[in-house]
Amino acid sequence: MTPDTMLPPPLLDALQALLGPRGLLTEHADIAPWLADWRGLYQGASPAILRPGSTEELAQAVRLCAAAGVPMVPMGGNTSMVGGATPDESGRQVIVSLARLNRIRALDPLDMTLVAEAGVVLKTAQDAAAEAGCLFPLSLGAEGTATIGGVLSTNAGGNTTVRYGNARELMLGLEVVLPDGGVIHGLRRLRKDNTGYALRHLFVGAEGTLGFITAAALRMYPRAREQEVAFCAVGSEDAALSLFRRFRDRDEGAVRAFEYMSGTGVDLAVRHIEGIAWPLGARADHCVLLDLASSRPQGGLRALAESVLEEALDAGEVLDAVIAESDAQRAALWRIRDEHPEAQKREGASVKNDVSVPVSRVPELIRRSSVALTALIPGSRPVPFGHMGDGNIHMNLEQPEAMDPAVFLARAHDIMDCVNAIVRDLEGSFSAEHGIGRLKTDMMEDWRGGAELGAMRAIKSALDPLGLMNPGKVLPGPAS
Ligand code: MLT
Ligand code: ZN
């Protein structure tokens, strides 16, 4: 450890006394795995990881760090796509891991609520709900690693937003440690609670810049008793959207996920991920993964899937389709979609454009961006995929096969600007579900500048006047 990555000795002593050996890690070997983000975009430095065992311990630790002027970076499962949980290079920022706050505090199948601490892994929360015969519907590729604190702090979306909304819509109440060590005890499990400013919503999507979420009261749903998953080859982006519309018009409540994949993306999954193969007789340029679910035991989903797919086949929109016959087949079809990020990573360097547009404009987004990107970087490969049903497409770009990855990545901001210009024209957003983190702070002025950014800065300085909570994330410039 170099001297500039040491904690001030009085703070170190106080934290040691408060947190004990399990709660404070200062050995470089323990800290090192948490200094880089999942995508490998950033490499930070930090003198310590704080691992409080309770909300009260965290509150006291925050008070100590605040008094010493030490910045704090919250850490969940470290699956941020935008460097949201990585400390900067200064070596001054401590990492605050919520990993030991990992209890399900309560679960009530009558109220349909689940109270989980921030360090509970998303999959664990889903499993706990399932054991009680219920459903916690938030679902995303990183669910085996991402935590409740992380998915709320980023207002994660994922695959089921089309039906259940984002993390925010699943949140009823929060417990939060504020930048001065105060604690909001807001774990109310109420559907109606109009009692002044809805402070809980400030912390969802704030990426830890206003305080640290320590626990959440979450909304559950009845479990699915019937499910149908189909993989479809469609004729075009428009045909994919038209298929979505057909299902929505026939039974909106049945659509649990509606995911678009390009042939290029499926090709990469087949090439790099063991056990994945094209599920249809022929390769296709445009594909859809459709997931229907119902809490009714005889929901008629098979008949619905077959009849709508048949109509779409007759209309020439669907070229071929397969409906899974078992849980194993359903999982195998989902894997093709969920392994897209990993397959892209293995293929080489890629730039992610996590954008959203009104659902009706998704085909235009994909088409125009693909043309613009290949004109910008000849030989590059657009890999659009994602949540067509809610308008959020990952308009990602894979490097040209022969190009040096570093040369390609040096163009990252040109690539993002290129897509964002189209997104702006289509009245969309430059960050749909991954958040701002460190990667996109420089876009905030342009996209959210004026009164909107001014209000965000005012909130930040009111709650965190010393700027110690996850500095350098979300807000650009000095006020971050
Ligand atoms: C996903 O939906 O798989 C991720 O959010 C997208 C990505 O890796 O770009
Ligand atoms: Zn996504």
Task: Please tell me whether residues 170 and 279 are part of one structural domain.
Answer: no
One domain, residues 211 and 295: no
**pLDDT bracket for residue 479 (50, 70, 90):** very low
Atom from ligand 1 closest to the CA of residue 337: 3
In the chain, pLDDT over 70 holds for what percent of residues? Answer: 98
The alpha carbon of 141 and the centre of ligand 1 are apart by a number of angstroms equal to: 7
Q: Quick check: 299 pLDDT over 90?
A: no
What pLDDT does 478 receive? 59
Residues 109 and 86 in one domain: no
Same domain? For 420 and 357 the reply is yes
How far apart, in whole angstroms, are the C-alpha atoms of residue 427 and residue 35?
36
Using one digit for the tens of pLDDT, what is the confidence trace for 56-91?
A: 999 999 999 999 999 999 999 999 999 999 999 999
Average pLDDT, the chain: 96
Residues 325 and 244 occupy one common structural domain: yes
Ligand 1 atom closest to the CA of 396, numbered from 1:
9
Per-residue confidence (pLDDT) for residue 96, from 0 to 100: 98
User: How far apart are the CA of 154 and the centre of ligand 2, in A?
Assistant: 12
Complete DSSP assignment for 211-257: -EEEEEEEE-EEPPSEEEEEEEEESSHHHHHHHHHHHHHHHGGGEEE
pLDDT for res 1: 45
Question: In which domain, by residue range, is 408 found?
Answer: 349-425
Are residues 366 and 390 both part of a single domain?
yes
**What mean pLDDT do residues 91-97 have?**
97
Q: How far apart are CA 156 and CA 161, in angstroms?
A: 9
Average pLDDT over residues 342-362: 97
Position 85 in a domain: yes
Question: 305, 321, 340 — which closes off a domain?
Answer: 340
Nearest Cα to 72, choosing from 56, 88, 53, 54? 88
Structurally, the chain folds into a number of domains equal to 5
Mean pLDDT of 429-457: 97
Ligand 2: centre distance to CA 140 (Å): 7
Q: Which atom of ligand 1 is nearest to the CA of 142?
A: 3
Q: Which of 385, 439, 440 to mutate to test the pocket of ligand 1 (most atoms within 8 A of CB)?
A: 385
Looking at the fold, whether 48 and 124 belong to one and the same domain comes out as no
Same domain (yes/no): 233, 297:
yes
Q: Within this chain, do residues 389 and 453 fall inside the same structural domain, yes or no?
A: no
Residues 311 and 363 in one domain: no
The whole-number pLDDT of residue 298 equals 86
Average pLDDT over residues 110-121: 98
**Which residue has the least CA distance to atom 7 on ligand 1?**
341
Q: Looking at residue 6, what is its pLDDT?
A: 86
Residues 237 and 297 in one domain: yes
Pocket around ligand 1: residues whose beta carbon is below 6 Å from it? Answer: 81, 141, 340-341, 352, 354, 386, 394, 396
> 421 and 463: one domain?
no
* For residue 2, pLDDT beyond 90: no
Q: pTM, whole model, 2 decimals?
A: 0.96
- Cβ burial of 333 (10 Å; 0-12, 13-18, 19+) is buried
Radius of gyration of the chain (CA): 23
Atom of ligand 1 at shortest range from CA of 434: 5
The enclosing domain of 381 has a CATH number of 3.30.70.2740
What is the three-class DSSP state of 351? strand
Residue 455 lies in a domain: yes
Residue 340 CA: nearest ligand 1 atom is 3
Q: What is the CATH number of the domain that holds 272?
A: 3.30.70.2190
pLDDT of residue 326 exceeding 80: yes
d(CA 11, CA 392): 44
Q: Which CATH number characterizes residue 181's domain?
A: 3.30.465.10
The CA 353 to ligand 2 mean position distance, Å, reads 10
Q: What is the pLDDT of residues 18-70, one digit of tens each?
A: 999 999 999 999 999 999 998 899 999 999 999 999 999 999 999 999 999 99
pLDDT digits (tens, 9 = 90+) for 401-413: 999 999 999 999 9
* Last residue in a domain, options 222, 255, 289: 222
Å from CA of 186 to ligand 2 middle: 29
